[in-house]
Amino acid sequence: MLLTGVGAIAATNLLFKAIWITGLVALPILIWMGYFLLIYPKAMAQVLAQESTLSEEVR
């Protein structure tokens, strides 16, 4: 996923050679990557940790 995002940004820069177009393409890609590579895994780890704690308390 990381390579795909960087490749898309690089391809835009190579095709159009305009930094503003590259910026328009890069912004949503970087937001998407930041969410799914940084924020979502941490949130899921917390949810799974809470679920395992709750299931241990029930037993």
Global confidence as pTM: 0.76
Q: What confidence tens digit (pLDDT) does each residue in 3-55 have?
A: 999 999 999 999 999 999 999 999 999 999 999 999 999 999 999 999 888 77
The kind and range of the H/E element at 12 are helix 2-16
Separation CA 26–CA 8 (nearest Å) = 8
